[in-house]
Structure 1
Amino acid sequence: MATAALSDDPGDALAAARDLVATDPGRAAAALTQIVDRHPDHCPALRLLARALRGIDEPGIAAQLDQRAIDTAARRPAFRAAIAHFAAGRLDRAEAIARRVLAQDAEDVAALCLLAELARRASLPDEAERLLRRALTLAPDFTEAQVNLAKVMAQRGDDAAALSLLDDALAGAPDDDGALAARLAITAQSGDYPSAIALYEDALGRRGRDARLWTDFGYLLRTVGRREEAAHAFRAALAIDAGLGEAWLGLSHVARPPLDLTDVAAMERALGESTDARRSVPMHFALGRALEGLGKHAASFRHYAAANRIQRSLLPYDADATSDMVDRAIAFFTPERLRAAGTGGTDSVAPIFVVGMPRSGSSLVEQILASHPAVEGLSERPDIPRLVARVLGQAGTYPEGLARLTSADLRALGQSYLRSTAASRRTSRPFCVDKLPENWAYIAFIHLILPEATIIDVRRDRQACGFSNFAQYFPRGHGYSNDLVDLAGYQTDYRRMIDHIDRVLPGRVHHLSCEALVADPEAQVRALLHAIGLPFDAACLRPHENHRPVPTPSAEQVRRPINRSGIDRATPYAAWLNDLSPPKSPEVTAPSRRE
């Protein structure tokens, strides 16, 4: 075996060593060490040697060899090309290369992890989990795979499993930035804000010069309404890194008094020194907000436009795909099909879905509802898109993939939704609000699996809502918001879908105008509660007195009394917003099904 290991082709020696790993790992390790000495970049030999060393209780050296194999594979031209395509958003090309790499070496951990990340981003958590568990079977101590698997488990709503994985990762790599960041973020995501704050405070005690950590802490403090402390955290981050756009943007939301010309000059100076396009996006948004507050609307719009131009290049959006999906949904969800499936689903009145465009007033509506003693607000839940992805993973495209679902399937999906939300509940209140805006695309699916759930469509003036989206930094998703024409098209597609639901399921959706709500809160709140089947409660007219965490961009607005302050925000920008104004059409005024 030793002679074979010194040849130019280690294949025979490798095969012989592989046979020994399970029965005599010590001898296998000796042979494999000779192969690795001769062929230091031979990834299969490195991985097999790591496995043999684990068999003789040398896990530390084994972990180093696994990492060496991963690093070696990641340096190869094919994988580097895949990563370049991934970074540029060319995900199909990245996937094709990664699959070719894996076809040549089925144990390439780097390729497995890249495919898993692509699956995670495509909302295919089952596939992502399978790939990552395979990677961890091959490299049990690979921290990046542990962290990514934790993110997948969190994506599936299993925060407990995610946190357990991260605890294991941090036990082996206590200084790993990715594991620490994920541990902090998922703790907060789980709704355990006191624990999340304590973890951040502990981490900052050890890493007080970490600007990103201070910034994330600032956003957490903003979520729980500790505005002054959030501003301090953002300022602490900027004292370390004056060019951190996310910190400036967070500060622009919580600073009292608002950012001034000195702050604008500091941001412009940092922006001029930046060579990183991604880093400049939140800085442009922060400058847009600061200049808007100072009444300099032309300069403000220039920065909003610059931010969106860059973001659009980083997050491509396929407007035709959205329109096509709506066309197909309109054709698929006929009255006959919906009647035929009407015996399925789970008969629970607990869920309240608030849908519509982002920045339409949905956070205010949730805050109003969560101020009722019978309602718990759960913010933006990913459960419905997850269920749709689960169905499509087995049955194809949406909505056509739903055709094969039986009544029992629909009932099981409804029960799965209820179990998932129950795991995140903090109270025993009988109703709960799920306010993920893009659930508008899945209203018919929601009706099929939860036929007694309440669905509320919150609407806002198209130009006002469109501009508010254009001026909002969305780090991921919402690609339509980066272009005014795409925004107008997306709003049209959303309204086409809702209009169709009103035709085939009249009265199923309760419509609420943001402008009407702030003009006459009591009348609109009474109608809203009636649509759900709840008695009026005066606390719903004082949502600002509800101190629940609000993890959305509207955190500051919902902590103020109901008012018109943001209604006319787009007016000074009207000259630049013509693309948001399609031909006028009547507003939908379909009655609630409970009337």
Structure 2
Amino acid sequence: MPKAPNSAPLPHPTHAPSARDVKESYARGMAALQAGKLAEALEIFGAIHEANPRIAEVEFQIGRLFTAQDRTARALPHAAAAATLAPDQPVVWLSFAEAVALDGGAEPRKEFLRLVNGSRLSVAQKAALADRFGAGSKGTLPAGGAAVKQTLSRITALFNGGHFAEAEADAARLIAAQPDCAMAHSLRGSALAALGKPTEARKSWYSAVARAPDLVQALGALGLAALRDGTPAQAVRWLDRALPLAPDRVEVQRARGNALTALRQYEPAYEAFVDVAKLTKRKQALPLMMLAQAAAHLGRDEEAEAAYREALALEPANAQLLVAYGLFLQGLGRFAEAEVQILAAITAAPEIGESYRLYYASHKATPGEPMLAEMERRFADPATSEADRRAFGFAIAKALEDIKDYGRVFDHLDPANALMRKAKPYDITERERQVDALMQALDGMDWSQKIEGASDAAPIFVTGMPRSGTTLIEQIIASHSRVTGGGELADNTVSAMRLMPVAGGKIRPASLIPATDFVSLGQDYAAMMQARFPETPQITDKSIQTYLTMGLMKLAMPNAKFIVVRRDPRDTLLSIYKNVFPEGTHLYGYDQVDLARHYATFVRMIDFWRERVPGWFHEVQYEALVDDPEVQSRALIAACGLDWEEACLNFHANKRKVETLSVFQVRQPISKGSVKAWERYGDRLAPMIDRLRADGMIED
């Protein structure tokens, strides 16, 4: 049975704790639970469990707490133990059933039914619990007969008619009368979500799934909520449960494709959108757009463009579609065509700020542009939504910088970033804690060891802070005849971190990773690259957070090369602050102090590797590169183990697709124009610069 977290609230005795010790600790745990201090309660109960794992009440509480945190894999052994220790207690079995239902796994269901059938419960109680995973699993046969079905129909009609408050109130009344009616919980969740109460909605959907684990509406709703919350892995978990139950539900398959895309699992995402296109008989524009985006991620650009054009034939004035197609064309370097599409999107929906932001990302503004005045009018209009206002703010800041009106840039940039932070809260202390824990887990590893059976793949990893020049460096390397630029191919950092799972609140030390895990890591990565790029000798991978785990990747693939890009942090962080990143990424970037603190974690990590494996990576200083491109480029290519080719100096002529914020810059020759750009803004960058100085990241 997995151990619960242990914070040692009990003394560490040489003998079993007395009944009095256990009773007092249990009382403290219950007091913490009733006060809403769930983490404290879990640690107290966990310590009791460590001392004596056969107390039913403790196992029951641990199971409930893990279930409430949606950590059902941890909850199940404790819930099962509680049921075994107190086999005649219905409340214990109900809690166990809830954990099994929320987990959704076939084996936990099978084990639960085996145990409940052998329990001391009455025949009626056993039947009711078994029915939860049998005829009642889909929630289509609610107790209460025709009257309940009629009430559910009325609530559904209210919801569909937009009467969300009435629907929620009626659902709550039905739940009070019929607490096990899963459909009532699900409908209440949907009404709460429509009323802007996502936390309460999620609780209702959990309640629905706990009572009917195969209720498609609730499973789908939880998947969509997780996707909106920026937790795509959780979304896939719920949607994978919903899909076999309703394979013809377009919204489920579409959401699943979006979640897989967010996880960079592009092949299954593509298959999902193929199914969506089939289900809609290729008669809806947005599913075709999603299919086009998925094909583009897989490098199937001709197929992607055909799908975009097919979608535009259906909805030629769809702003979202026009922008998506424009971005695709930008990635191919077809900027003039891209501008036509994005301007058409602005014409179609002039109130949408994001179209302007994307337009000015590649368009250089000139004094007197009428769109600048229009954007400023909309930015100042109280009727403009916060989402559009922040997009207008970033667009205006870029346009003002283009026309060298530097004094007004931050009047729009600061509010835009503040709105981003409001929409996407972030706690930088969690990042600092994670890096500390990672370095502790990596320390003490024998980095000189040779892993027998390690992959002979030789990818070239380009890593560093965003906006530090990583795309430029990749473009130089990818201009070599032996190399294909892969872009941000896969989150190998996540793959490497799977070798170091968290247990008991701590990351497993790297020194405990079996050699076979390193072999699998390297071979899995090599197989993925071979499938994507079967005809190229080498690829670059610009998954920029590789610096966190590059030692692990090097052991898995000894022939791999690592390029670390460095740039004056004031320019790097200013560039991050001026940009909007893909959904859910680089959330530290919308606050100046958080930017500086994040940069400090990057430097600490690079220093960690430099101290332990100094010969394993090559550092490129951006300012040195733009000052002397040929000397630095030659050194870079040599560090990659390649012979020099003049094409590497003409990287801007490389026609490969680029899918980063630097899509426009890498099509231009090297310029010194962005060096010391931070000096234009004086005190407006004081919060960031003061923190960098305090952390020793810059010198005056």
Q: CA deviation at 1:446?
A: 1.9
Q: How does 1:409-428 map to 2 (within 5 A)?
A: 409-425=517-533, 428=535
In the other structure, the counterpart of 2:170 is none
Following superposition, the deviation at residue 439 of structure 1 comes to: 2.1
Given that 2:226 and 2:232 are in contact with CA atoms closer than 8 Å, whether structure 1 keeps it comes out as yes
Which entry has the higher C-alpha Rg, 1 or 2?
2
Which residue of 1 is the match for residue 239 of structure 2? Answer: 132
Per-residue deviation, 1:176:
5.2
- CA distance in 1: counterparts of 2:135 and 2:225, whole angstroms: 34
Q: 2:487 aligns with which of 379, 391, 414?
A: 379
**Residues 286-297 of structure 1: pairs in structure 2 closer than 5 A:** 286-297=395-406
Corresponding residue for 1:99?
206
CA RMSD of aligned residues (A): 3.6
* Corresponding position: 1:180 with 2:292: no
Q: Does 1:365 align with 2:473?
A: yes
Instruction: Output one character per residue of 1:527-570: Cα deviation in whole Å (capped at 9) or x when no partner.
Output: 11121211111111110111111111111111111221222322
- Contact kept, 8 Å, 1:462 with 1:580, in 2: the verdict is no
1:318 maps to: 427
Residue 116 of structure 1, CA deviation = 3.7
Q: Deviations over 1:473-515 (max 9, x none)?
A: 1242111110110000111110000001101112212110000
Structural mapping, 1:277-356, within 5 Å? 277-334=386-443, 336-339=444-447, 342-343=450-451, 346-356=454-464
CA distance in 1, matches of 2:151, 2:183: 15
Distance of aligned partners of 1:410 and 1:423 in 2 relative to their CA distance in 1, 3 Å threshold: same
Match of 1:530 in 2: 638
Shift of 1:244: 1.8
Give, in angstroms, the shift of residue 333 of structure 1. 1.8
**Structure of higher RCO (CA pairs closer than 8 Å, 6+ residues apart):** 1
1:443/1:251 CA distance change after superposition, 3 Å = same
Q: Is 2:227–2:235's contact at 8 Å kept on the other side of the alignment?
A: yes
2:153 maps to which residue?
Answer: 41
- Among candidates 523, 531, 539, match of residue 432 of structure 1: 539
Residue correspondence of structure 1 range 455-494 to structure 2 within 5 A: 455-476=562-583, 477-494=585-602
Preserved contact between residue 182 and residue 207 of structure 2 (Cα < 8 Å) = no
**Which residue number in structure 2 is paired with residue 591 of structure 1?**
none
- Which residue does 2:329 correspond to in 1? 221
Q: CA deviation at 1:111?
A: 3.2
1:109 aligns with 2:189: no
Alignment-derived partner of residue 24 in structure 1? none
Code of the residue aligned with 1:357 in structure 2: it is M
Residues 411-465 of structure 1: per-residue CA shift (max 9 Å, x gap): 101111122223322x622221111222222223323322331111101101011
2:188–2:204 contact (8 Å) kept in structure 1: no
**Change over 3 Å in CA distance of 1:489–1:586 after alignment to 2:** closer
Partner of 1:58: none
Residue 586 to residue 469, structure 1, CA distance change in 2 (3 Å): closer
Determine if contact 1:284/1:303 at 8 Å carries over to the other structure.
yes
Indicate if the aligned counterparts of 1:355 and 1:437 stay in contact, CA closer than 8 A. Answer: yes
Residues 446 and 511, structure 2, Cα contact 8 Å, conserved in 1: no
Q: SS where residue 680 of structure 2 aligns?
A: helix
Q: CA deviation at 1:136?
A: 1.8
Size of the aligned set, in residue pairs, is 537
The answer to whether the Cα contact below 8 Å between 1:395 and 1:401 also exists between their aligned partners in 2 is: no
Equivalent residue of 1:455, what SS? strand
Determine the C-alpha separation between the residues in 2 that align with 1:347 and 1:411.
7
Partner Cα distance (1:77, 1:147) in 2 = 21
Query: Structure 1 residues 326, 159: CA separation in 2 closer, same or farther (over 3 Å shift)?
Result: closer
Equivalent position of 1:52 in the other structure: none
Classify the secondary structure of the residue corresponding to 2:593.
Answer: helix
1:268 aligns with 2:376: yes
Corresponding residue to 1:559 among 643, 646, 667: 667
- 1:320-351 deviation per Cα after TM superposition (whole angstroms, max 9, x unaligned): 111112222222222x4133864267343521
Q: Could you tell me how far apart the structure 2 residues matched to 1:144 and 1:379 are?
A: 30
Name the CA shift for 1:371/1:77 in 2 (closer, same or farther; >3 Å): closer
Identical counterparts, % of pairs: 29
**CA deviation digits over 1:122-146, x for unaligned, max 9?**
9987765443232122222211211
Q: Distance in 2 between matches of 1:72 and 1:215?
A: 40
- The letter for the 2-side match of 1:538 is E
CA distance in 2, matches of 1:116, 1:147: 11
The CA distance in 1 between the partners of 2:580 and 2:465, in whole Å, is 15
Give me the whole-angstrom Cα distance separating, in 2, the residues matched to 1:355 and 1:255.
28
Are residues 417 and 554 of structure 1, via their aligned partners in 2, closer, same or farther at CA, if it must alter by over 3 Å? same
Q: For the residues of structure 1 that align with 2:619 and 2:259, how far apart are their CA atoms?
A: 35
Structure 1 residues 97 and 457, CA gap change in structure 2 (3 angstroms): farther
Q: CA deviation at 1:303?
A: 1.0
Provide the secondary structure at the position in 2 that maps to 1:511.
strand
Q: Does 1:572 align with 2:684?
A: no
Alpha carbons of 1:102 and 1:429: their partners in 2 closer, same or farther (altered >3 Å)? same
- Aligned to 1:299, the other structure's residue is in SS state helix
SS of corresponding position for 2:447: helix
Cα distance in 2 for residues equivalent to 1:114 and 1:344: 47
Q: Deviations over 1:350-382 (max 9, x none)?
A: 211111110000110000000001111111123
Distance in 2, matches of 1:320 and 1:20, equals 45
Aligned partner of residue 437 in structure 2, secondary structure: helix
**Counterpart residue number, 1:141:** 248
CA distance in 1, matches of 2:150, 2:442: 64
What is the SS of the residue equivalent to 2:532? coil
Q: Distance in 1 between matches of 2:267 and 2:616?
A: 36
Give the conservation status (yes or no) of the 8 Å contact 1:102–1:112. Answer: yes
Is this contact kept in 1: 2:365–2:402, CA < 8 A? no
Q: Secondary structure at the match of 1:338?
A: coil
8 Å CA contact retained: 1:210, 1:240: yes
**Do the aligned partners of residues 76 and 262 (structure 1) sit closer, same or farther apart at CA in structure 2, a change above 3 Å counting?**
same
CA offset digits 1:272-325 (Å, max 9, x no partner): 444421222221110110111111112211111111100011112221111112
Q: Name the residue aligned to 1:506.
A: 614
Q: How much does 1:70 deviate?
A: 11
What is the TM-score of this pair, normalised by structure 1? 0.81
Give the aligned residue type for 1:244. Answer: I
Change (3 A) 1:544 1:77: closer
Q: CA deviation at 1:468?
A: 0.5
Residues in 2 aligned to 1:561 and 1:473: alpha-carbon distance in whole angstroms: 24
Mapped to 1, the partners of 2:617 and 2:195 lie a distance apart of 44
Deviates more, 1:114-123 or 1:150-159: 114-123
- The whole-number CA distance in structure 1 between the counterparts of 2:350 and 2:459 is 44
Q: Residue 151 in 1 paired to residue 263 in 2?
A: no
Q: Does 2:187 match 1:80?
A: no
Q: Is the 8 A contact 1:355 1:457 kept in 2?
A: yes
- Flag structure 1 segments of 5+ consecutive residues without an equivalent: 1-10, 22-27, 45-68, 588-595
- d(CA) in 2 for partners of 1:300, 1:35: 62
- Residue pair 2:253, 2:272 contacting (<8 A) in 1 also: yes
Q: Distance between the aligned counterparts of 1:177 and 1:395, measured in 2?
A: 46
